[in-house]
Amino acid sequence: MAGHNVEEPKQAESDSWLSSIRSVTDGAVLHFGSNIVKNGVAFVLSLILTNVLGANLYGFYTFARRIVSEVQKFTNLGTDIAITRLISSNLDDRAARNRAFTMAYATSAVVSTLGAAVLFVAAPVVSSYTLADPTFTRGLQAFAIAVPFISLAKLGINSFRGLEMPVHQNALRIVVRLSRLGIISAAVLGGYMLMGAVVGFALASAFAFVLVTIVVVRRTDLRPTADISGGELKEFYNYSLPLSGSKAGSLLYNQVDVFMVGIFLSSAEVGIYSISMLLAGVILLPLSGFNQLFPPVASRLYSEGDMEMLQSVFTTVTRWTITATLFIGSVLVIYRREALVLFGEEFTAGTMVLTLFVVGKAVVAFSGPSNDLLMMTDHQYVVMLNHWTFGVLNVALNYVLIMEYGFIGAAIATAGINAVLNVLRVLEVWYFEGMIPYSVRLWKPLTAAVGAVAVMYGATFVLSGVVLLAVGSLLGGLVYVGALLLFGIEARDKRMLNDYYSLLD
């Protein structure tokens, strides 16, 4: 298939491009801001939990939390993504939006409740095959109660995503995270230790569900309806069920390492491994920001047949993502020990794990929103096949490497699998849709990153500890931004900035 590699649209299409990219950028800016809060909250909460509980009990907490998170993702049967697409593609049809809203909520409510009940009953069995501790069993059962609340709250937030209302979407995400921090911290610092943290999480999840439901009712016209035909149900599940299968596969390629570390290694090693994953996850902030509104915009452009505009938005979003990712990844690799020691000296054992994950996630970021583009262009079965194929490979590779190298082996396996999968996604987008996400304009951030790395590495010879982390990152950031300004801002980026300035004026 012939590929398009034109990032700059024709002048006659500039207004259309600006409208589309503005939708994505508005969501990205707000999401990035909310993600700063989200990751700040996660960072503070992890600091509190690791310093109060220690690596062993923190390992219990994070392992149970991970299990519940994956159960929740599977039991919503892909409705969180389906509701985004079906609402965004029917912005001018209220009845169709309400039918999608009803099918998503009814499905998620029933299946997530059943999933929570199964997890509650099966908790002793899960414990016996993993960390084998009564405390872990009780904690997992308390966590299970939160599953329906998490699923339904996420559906409500994704409804705003489909409606392209990023302010409401991200405001809710911030409030939910802050309430979780407050409730869990109060319980732990009040002396209730591990069970306090777990019960606090369940209470915070229930609060989030109530809050999101109230806001959806008051701020949107989405309402339940019984006017749903069998054909609509078939269409809905034809889209959502493959996504659910895809998520099950994504568990294997993206999360199974944590579970296998829990099965074969100790709870302390689970805690160390999880903190390294938490820090490495920061590198995906830019991509996740742009991905908040890229899917509905991509779905709209695809349904309108405007493939040239979709290619332009795809390339721009990828370039911006890479530009932001390069600096974040450089900081995490160069100052990996200084970052980990904040959680306690015992967590510095995860320096190699952190480095491997940063490299793997950098490849994910460099692929841009390729996976979302595949889903929004009706290739959900390809996405599911990707996840299952690489998931099975990841399980096998994790087993072999964990037995040989411990949790470093788990990081090698998962980071490597993620890297190869995302290279494949880029190739699939090119093969199916004739689009590639890269342009020659990438030389600017790549060159700027070289200068920033040199400065940050040089700082290691004169500074140390937290001072090195703070001052070195600041100096590197100044060099990076300065170099980008020196190389010149792209014409299309100036148009974007001028548009924002005019709004401010």
Strand, helix or coil for residue 130: coil
Give pLDDT, residue 504: 40
Whether the pLDDT of residue 271 is over 50: the answer is yes
Confidence of residue 25 (pLDDT cuts 50, 70, 90): low
Looking at residue 226, the DSSP 8-state letter turns out to be S
Cβ atoms of residues 2 and 264 within 8 Å: no
**Top-confidence residue, 129 or 384:** 129
pLDDT band at residue 26 using 50, 70 and 90 as cut-offs: low
Q: Residue 156 pLDDT more than 70?
A: yes
- pLDDT tens per residue, range 462-488: 999 999 999 999 999 999 999 999 998
Q: What's the whole-number mean pLDDT along residues 134-145?
A: 93
Mean pLDDT of all residues in 293-318: 79
In this predicted model, what pLDDT tens digit does every residue of 92-102 receive, in sequence order? 888 888 998 99
Greater confidence (493 vs 3) lies with 493
What would the pLDDT profile of 206-223 be if each residue is shown by its tens digit?
999 999 999 999 999 999
Residue found under tokens 């993993």? 130
Q: d(Cα 76, Cα 68) in Å, to the nearest integer?
A: 13
pLDDT at residue 3 is higher than 70? no
Alpha carbon distance 158, 299 (integer Å): 15
Under the banding of pLDDT at 50, 70 and 90, the label for residue 348 is very high
Residue 505's pLDDT is 46
Rounded CA separation 401/405 (Å) = 6
CB neighbours of residue 455 within 10 Å: 16
pLDDT of residue 490: 78
User: Per-residue pLDDT averaged across 174-184, rounded?
Assistant: 93
CB 87 within 8 A of CB 101: yes
Paired tokens of 297: 């915009």
| Across 213-241, average pLDDT | 88
The predicted pLDDT at position 292 comes to 65
Rounded average pLDDT over 342-368 = 93
| Digit-coded pLDDT (tens) for 401-423 | 999 999 999 999 999 999 999 99
- Give residue-wise pLDDT tens across range 308-331: 888 888 888 888 889 989 999 999
Contact in structure between 365 and 284 (CB atoms under 8 Å): yes
Q: How far is CA 363 from CA 235, 278, 420, 426, 433, in A?
A: 34, 17, 8, 11, 21
Q: Map out the domains of the chain as residue ranges.
A: 11-438, 441-505
First and final C-alpha spacing in the chain: 45
Q: What are phi and psi of 435, to 5 degrees?
A: -115, 140
Predicted confidence band of residue 250 (pLDDT cuts 50, 70, 90):
low
**Cβ-proximal residues to 145 (8 Å cutoff; 6+ apart), any chain:** 116, 120, 202
Say how many residues make up the chain: 505
Mean local confidence (pLDDT), 419-432: 94
Q: Three-class SS of residue 183?
A: helix
